[in-house]
């Protein structure tokens, strides 16, 4: 019912939105002599804000047509190389002639970025992709909005996510590397464990987890506590709704993106209110550059997708309530997932000091699950002064985090896992891994 009311609200405001757009165009027209007056700027600012707050935010474009490597522009073309009804594997193909001119003559590592399926589109990782494109052949998972998948395509759950990761790694050839950002950490680790146990040729050469809830019992955040404090049935009764017409997935049970977005925004509601007040003032002051930065951020932030009922509820159950992976109790079909069977896949974990989504220690827990890995194949890093999004995007990511991840991937590329020689020692000794556990952790 809520989904239908949400849709009805959108269509009910459509006439007002069209009026606001017409007024905005009138007060911003260079032919209007009053456009630069105080009242003109105020009218433009208010109608623009109203139009933006009530419009649809569809899937954003990647807007990556080139990357700068060694001071030279290298053309980039996103290409779909594999797909299912639930996901497509996108390769950011770099122009080979441009690469040669930039001094890149050797084949570079293939890297899969596992984008989160937790509300936002994969384009939220645009800055992450641009950084890795400097030194890797980058592939990324682009998950489909569940409301757009016909009901007859069936289910998609936590275990289907694991199978999709395995299949996409196979599509990339032998020993690709994988970076899991936030939510994908547990299913990616499970996929790697299964592939390692089977000695698959396409098992990862390395895996990097960034701000991932591998063990959500450690340093629990507000998000973790909410998932633990509410009974499982509460999520099923209050967070799941049927997709209404005219979407292709009409009738499918989903966790709607707009509900997830409301949860995101409620965590920092005053901050979002202040940002929009500032935007209004910037428009009235004629500060176009600052206003454009606001729009660029919120065009991405307000673009959300729906999750299937089964994927959302299984994630709550498996990752945030029963903690099956860190307890050694996760089964994939009839097979037990055994991270300790991983012996030749490099492991790096990255956490943010101020992360309020995945607390310090949650990602680091992967090291204690992968008991079969020697110390030289492990690395842990905690980035000072960054929150959750700063772990994979922004200035500190580009200047401090990415160089470390790049060094780790390239070291693993030339290690035992790929070429049969002993791993080179790291340029600096790996940080001592000391998990930070809550005082009342549930074991």
pLDDT-derived band at 317, boundaries 50, 70, 90: very high
pLDDT-derived band at 287, boundaries 50, 70, 90: confident
Q: Which residues pair with 383 in a beta bridge?
A: 352
* pLDDT one-digit tens code per residue, 151-167: 999 999 999 999 999 99
Please determine, looking at this structure, whether the domain spanning 66-231+308-419 carries the CATH number 3.20.20.70: no
* pLDDT one-digit tens code per residue, 47-85: 999 999 888 888 999 999 999 999 999 999 999 999 999
For 88, the 3-state DSSP assignment is strand
Of 179, 92, 211, nearest in space to 408 by CA: 179
Q: In the predicted model, what is the mean pLDDT of the chain?
A: 90
The pLDDT of residue 19 is: 95
DSSP H helices in 31-146: 38-54, 96-101, 126-132
CB proximity list for 201: less than 8 A, separation 6 or greater: 174, 175
Of 6, 66, 438, 7, nearest in space to 225 by CA: 438
pLDDT-derived band at 417, boundaries 50, 70, 90: very low
205 backbone dihedrals φ, ψ, rounded to 5°: -80, -30
* pLDDT one-digit tens code per residue, 99-123: 999 999 888 999 999 999 988 999 9
Neighbours of 7 (CB within 10 A): 16
The DSSP-derived string for 64-87 is -SEEEETTEEEEEEEEEEEEETTE
Domain locations along the chain:
1-56, 66-231+308-419, 257-305
The pLDDT of residue 422 is: 38
pLDDT-derived band at 146, boundaries 50, 70, 90: very high
Mean predicted confidence (pLDDT) in 21-49? 91
Question: In whole angstroms, what is the distance from residue 386 CA to residue 355 CA?
Answer: 7
The pLDDT of residue 260 is: 87
Stretch among 310-324, 373-387, 428-442 having the lowest mean pLDDT: 428-442
Of all residues in the chain, what percent carry a pLDDT higher than 70?
Answer: 94
Maximal C-alpha separation, the chain = 74
For the chain, the first-to-last Cα distance in angstroms comes to 39
CB proximity list for 82: less than 8 A, separation 6 or greater: 88, 89, 167, 168, 171
Contact 122, 66 (CB under 8 A): no
pLDDT-derived band at 432, boundaries 50, 70, 90: very low
The pLDDT of residue 426 is: 41
């Amino acid at each position: 019912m809520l989904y239908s009311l949400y849709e009805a609200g959108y269509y009910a405001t459509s006439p007002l939105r069209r009026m606001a757009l017409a007024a905005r165009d009138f007060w911003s027209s260079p032919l209007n002599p009053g456009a630069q007056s105080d009242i003109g700027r105020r009218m433009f600012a208010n109608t623009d804000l109203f139009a933006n707050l009530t419009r649809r935010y569809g899937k954003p474009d990647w807007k990556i047509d080139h990357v700068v490597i060694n001071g030279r522009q290298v053309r980039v073309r996103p290409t779909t190389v594999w797909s299912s009804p639930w996901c497509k594997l996108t390769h950011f193909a770099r122009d080979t002639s441009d690469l040669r001119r930039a001094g890149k003559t050797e084949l570079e590592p293939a890297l899969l970025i596992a984008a989160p399926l937790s509300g936002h589109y994969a384009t939220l990782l645009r800055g992450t992709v641009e950084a890795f494109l400097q030194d890797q052949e980058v592939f990324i998972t682009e998950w489909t909005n569940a409301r757009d998948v016909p009901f007859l395509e069936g289910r998609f759950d936590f275990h289907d996510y694991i199978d999709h990761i395995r299949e996409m790694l196979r599509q990339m050839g032998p020993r690709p590397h994988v970076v899991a950002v936030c939510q994908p950490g547990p299913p990616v680790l499970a996929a790697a464990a299964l592939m390692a146990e089977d000695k698959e040729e396409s098992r990862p050469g390395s895996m990097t987890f960034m701000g991932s809830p591998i063990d959500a019992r450690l340093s629990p955040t507000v998000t973790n506590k909410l998932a633990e404090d509410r009974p499982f049935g509460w999520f099923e009764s209050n967070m799941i709704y049927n997709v209404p017409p005219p979407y292709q997935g009409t009738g499918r049970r989903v966790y709607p993106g707009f509900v997830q977005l409301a949860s995101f925004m409620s965590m920092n509601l005053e901050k979002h209110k202040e940002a929009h007040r500032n935007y209004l003032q910037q428009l009235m002051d004629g500060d176009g550059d600052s206003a454009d930065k606001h729009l660029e951020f919120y065009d991405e932030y307000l673009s959300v997708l729906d999750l299937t009922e089964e994927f959302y509820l299984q994630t709550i159950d498996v990752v945030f309530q029963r903690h099956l992976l860190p307890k050694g109790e996760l089964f994939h079909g009839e097979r037990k997932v055994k991270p300790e069977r991983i012996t030749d896949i490099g492991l790096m974990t990255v956490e943010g000091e101020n992360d309020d989504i995945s607390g310090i220690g949650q990602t680091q827990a992967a090291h204690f699950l992968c008991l079969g890995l020697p110390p030289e194949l492990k690395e842990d890093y905690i980035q000072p002064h960054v929150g959750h999004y700063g772990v994979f995007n922004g200035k500190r990511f580009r200047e401090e985090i990415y160089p470390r991840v790049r060094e780790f991937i390239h070291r693993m590329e030339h290690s035992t896992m790929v070429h049969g020689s002993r791993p080179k020692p790291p340029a600096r000794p790996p940080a001592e891994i000391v998990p930070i556990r809550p005082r009342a952790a549930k074991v």
